Amino acid sequence: MREVVIVGIGSTPFGRHAGTPIEQLAVSAAAQAIVDAGVDRERIGALYLGNFISGPLNGKEVLAGIVADQLGLPNIPCTKVEGACASGGIAFRHAWMAIASGQCDAAIAVGAETMTHATTAQSTAALNCAMDNEHDGPSGLTFPGLFGLAWRVHAQRYGTTRAQVSAVVRKNKRNGLLNPLAQMGAELTDEQIDSSATICDPLQLYDCCPTSDGAAAVVLVARSMLREVTGVPVDILAAIQTRGASRIAGHPDLCSFDATVSAAQRAFQAAGVAAADVDVVELHDCFSIAEVIDSEDLGLIPRGQGAAWAAEGRTAVDGDVAINPSGGLLAKGHPVGATGLGQLYEVVQQLRGTHPNQVPDARIGMTHNLGGTGVACTVSLLRAAS
């Protein structure tokens, strides 16, 4: 496999883009990434588009070809990939694979979703397409229900408290204030969090990521092509995709996702780095408790201590490991198919040293994108160019 580097990134703001067609958001992010890369469009050999529910919510598919057409890309393979909330990470991995395997020298991964135009009932029904509905549908659970259960197990087993989990919320919402692309940055007090509406006990309003529109994109090239582009490179050390159980009862432990655990292990092995080497991670905090579980599953924090570390400030930008300095899904937003590429956008900025909420001396960065009830996962490890 050939070495691959990221040379261009682009993103729309995450938030409300009422009335803007999804393909227009995707084209905007992709065009920005192409300019940032300084790559000749004729050299791009593959496009992967991550999207989850444009069919149900927009009546639009074949978006990969539509976006390539509007970008003026040549006649290349254009593929939509889907793995629920991990769709963006999967798009990135496939663009990486197309280059690593020698199919082409340059590729682009784009992620896009529009959701805010739908009613809550419509978007909840669409999001539940990520469940194994034949088996888990009768449970009546939605995703807040699943993560509420996970929180209860975590609290019972490890003594995790509301106040500790609130530290995750406060950190990510505060980080979001520094991110010009974020949908919902805020300076929140514990009392504001405590008194917010119950969504699915123990989850309250600020524990849940918002509904979002947005798009993000990354341009990748083979290392051997670096001299042909002008974008500031970031090395890809690993791009891993795994699967876990597709139904809730298939998970032996409700507060750990096998797909994350195995993806992280494989990524560290492929990259030849250890968890302790990671300076910054953008991980899949669709709910506050998800950040706690993810950080433990990734091996970044000892099991059971995820919320405690947040409360102690050890996951802040100047902490032991910076988690979600972008604001994460909680504050930056979660336009589902775009999220994985949005994470890469953030980590590339960190490793270029140009992030508005910069982690000091960030050298090794990680992204983590999780889909469904843990059925699909991607983990990437990136390194600042030396």
Which residues have a catalytic role annotated? 85, 334
Hey, is 148 helix, strand or coil?
Answer: helix
Q: Does 93 bind a second copy (CB under 8 A)?
A: yes
8 Å CB contact between 99 and 222: yes
Span of 71-79, 112-120, 143-151, 181-189 interacting with a second copy by CB under 8 A: 71-79
Judged by CB under 8 A, the chain residues 185 through 214 that form the site for a second copy are: none
Q: What is the Cα–Cα distance from 310 to 170, expressed in whole angstroms?
A: 9
> In the 8-state DSSP scheme, what is residue 287?
B
Span of 127-135, 168-176, 269-277, 350-358 interacting with a second copy by CB under 8 A: 127-135
Q: Does 31 bind a second copy (CB under 8 A)?
A: no
CB of 76 to a second copy, least distance (A): 6
Task: Give whichever of 176 and 372 is closer to a second copy, judged by the CB atom.
Answer: 372
Task: Give whichever of 98 and 149 is closer to a second copy, judged by the CB atom.
Answer: 98
CB of 46 to a second copy, least distance (A): 9
Q: What is the Cα–Cα distance from 89 to 51, expressed in whole angstroms?
A: 10
Q: Which of 134, 191, 318, 361 binds a second copy (CB under 8 A)?
A: 134
Q: Does 297 bind a second copy (CB under 8 A)?
A: no
As a residue count, the chain comes to 386
Q: Which residues contact 259 (CB under 8 A, 6 or more apart)?
A: 242, 243, 244, 370, 374, 375, 376, 377
Q: Does 269 bind a second copy (CB under 8 A)?
A: no
> Residue 107: what are its φ and ψ, rounded to 5°?
-150, 160
Task: Give whichever of 10 and 372 is closer to a second copy, judged by the CB atom.
Answer: 372
8 Å CB contact between 209 and 176: no
Q: Which of 35, 117, 124, 132 binds a second copy (CB under 8 A)?
A: 132
8 Å CB contact between 95 and 216: no
Which of these, 371, 365, 341, lies nearest to 8 by C-alpha position? Answer: 341
The two three-digit tokens of residue 47, written as one number = 């496009």
Q: Does 77 bind a second copy (CB under 8 A)?
A: yes
> In the 8-state DSSP scheme, what is residue 339?
H
- Under the rule (CB under 8 A), what is the footprint of a second copy? 1, 21, 23, 52-53, 55-56, 59-62, 64-66, 68-70, 75-84, 90, 93-94, 97-98, 100-103, 125-126, 128-130, 132-134, 241-247, 250, 258-259, 262, 371-372, 375-376
